[in-house]
């Protein structure tokens, strides 16, 4: 059974000039469509959903267009775009789907920039965190984006219901995630380490998780680890199939939320491979 893709073309309506631009999702959507995936449309997250993760003051400032940094512009109506992306993660959690939406989320913490990092790295609301909090199950968050999810770590640090596992490039933006701390297991990897090192590390990381305690898996699915992308670890399309296979082997209810990945066509092929590996398809 094919995983459903949560998507709305409304998410294409901002940031034409930015590297986190509409084509990265639009081209991916087109490719997944030609591959026969089914699509479902999200509703925006409610303020109640957001308040489980973010401080009221941050939400207010975002709504008013008052938060901006060098990576993360205060676009017109960005609060509406961000709420729809968070709502897509909520729907993905509900149907065990894949949210193919923007903006991404994993660098945003409770009150904006997280763990002393100076930007929100193209993120406004922490989509995966909003979905995990509302799902309210014992959850493993597996973050395969090439950047450390400092926002997600900050939000769930010390939360006994959640284990956060991240593989990411170091030294690199955002500069956090150098060591594991409590329920947050971090696996820093060197530039272009390649598939073999990556998969060995992933196997080791997953072996450290007490799966008997896990009811759900949430994947922060970033594709910027692809060779040549923003946080390249030298992975190829086939690497995402291998990653998906390992996620499927966990045998838990699972959903996926897009994070980074800056080449639209590549994102489409990588997502297809991730999902085929996950579903046990060749
Ligand atoms: N200002 C995600 O992949 N680059 N975000 C900072 C120095 C920020 C990446 C460069 C990269 C953010 C979701
Ligand atoms: Zn990233």
Q: In sequence order, what DSSP letters do the residues of 216-271 get, joined into one string?
A: EEEEEE--TTBTTSTT---B-HHHHHHHHHHHHTT-SEEEEEE-----HHHHHHHH
pTM for the predicted model, two decimal places: 0.99
Tell me the pLDDT band of 247, cut-offs 50, 70 and 90.
Answer: very high
Ligand (nearest to CA of 175): 1
In the numeric block, the tokens 């945003």 are attached to 108
Q: What is the mean pLDDT of residues 205-233?
A: 98
Residue nearest to atom 3 of ligand 1 (CA): 260
H/E run at residue 2: none
pLDDT tens sequence across 53-65: 999 999 999 999 9
Ligand (nearest to CA of 259): 1
Q: Within 10 A of 116 (CB to CB), how many other CB atoms are there?
A: 11
Residues 6+ apart with CB under 8 A from 48: none
Residues 6+ apart with CB under 8 A from 105: 85, 86, 89, 123, 124, 125, 126, 127, 128, 129, 130, 151, 152, 257, 259
First to last CA, the chain: 13
Among all residues, which ones are annotated catalytic? Answer: 107
Q: In sequence order, what DSSP letters do the residues of 93-119 get, joined into one string?
A: HHHT-EE--SS--TTEETTEE-TT-S-
Tell me the pLDDT band of 135, cut-offs 50, 70 and 90.
Answer: very high
- Cα separation, 237 vs 243, in Å, equals 10
- Give residues (CB < 6 A) around ligand 1: 70-71, 104, 107, 119, 121-123, 145, 147, 173, 222, 224, 259-260
Give residue 43's pLDDT: 99
Tell me the pLDDT band of 136, cut-offs 50, 70 and 90.
Answer: very high
Give residue 132's pLDDT: 99
Give residue 211's pLDDT: 97
Distance 122 CA to ligand 2 centre (A): 9
Give residue 76's pLDDT: 98
Residue nearest to atom 13 of ligand 1 (CA): 260
Tell me the pLDDT band of 156, cut-offs 50, 70 and 90.
Answer: very high
Give residue 110's pLDDT: 98
pLDDT tens sequence across 163-207: 999 999 999 999 999 999 999 999 999 999 999 999 999 999 999
Residue nearest to atom 9 of ligand 1 (CA): 121
Average pLDDT, the chain: 98
Residues 6+ apart with CB under 8 A from 34: none
């Amino acid at each position: 059974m094919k995983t459903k893709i949560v998507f709305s073309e409304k998410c294409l309506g901002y940031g034409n000039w930015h590297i986190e631009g509409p084509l990265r999702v639009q081209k991916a959507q087109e490719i997944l469509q030609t591959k026969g995936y089914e699509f479902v449309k999200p509703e925006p997250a409610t303020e109640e959903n957001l308040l489980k993760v973010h401080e009221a003051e941050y939400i207010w400032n975002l709504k008013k267009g008052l938060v901006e940094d060098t990576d993360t512009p205060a676009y017109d109506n960005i609060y509406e775009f961000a709420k729809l992306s968070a709502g897509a993660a909520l729907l993905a959690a509900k149907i065990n789907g894949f949210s193919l939406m923007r903006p991404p989320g994993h660098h945003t913490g409770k009150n904006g920039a997280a763990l002393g990092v100076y930007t929100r790295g193209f993120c406004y609301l922490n989509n995966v965190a909003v979905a995990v909090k509302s799902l309210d199950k014992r959850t493993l968050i597996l973050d395969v984006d090439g950047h450390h999810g400092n926002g997600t770590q900050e939000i769930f640090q010390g939360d006994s219901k959640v284990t956060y596992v991240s593989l990411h490039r170091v030294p690199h933006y955002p500069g956090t995630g150098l060591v594991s701390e409590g329920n947050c297991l971090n696996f820093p990897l060197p530039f272009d380490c390649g598939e073999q090192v990556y998969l060995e590390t992933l196997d080791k990381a997953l072996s450290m998780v007490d799966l008997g305690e896990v009811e759900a898996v949430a994947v922060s699915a970033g594709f910027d680890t692809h060779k040549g992308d923003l946080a390249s670890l030298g992975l190829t399309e086939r690497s995402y199939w291998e990653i998906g296979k390992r996620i499927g082997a966990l045998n838990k209810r699972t959903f996926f939320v897009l994070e980074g990945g800056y080449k639209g066509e590549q994102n489409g092929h990588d997502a297809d491979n991730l999902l085929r590996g996950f579903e046990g398809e060749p």
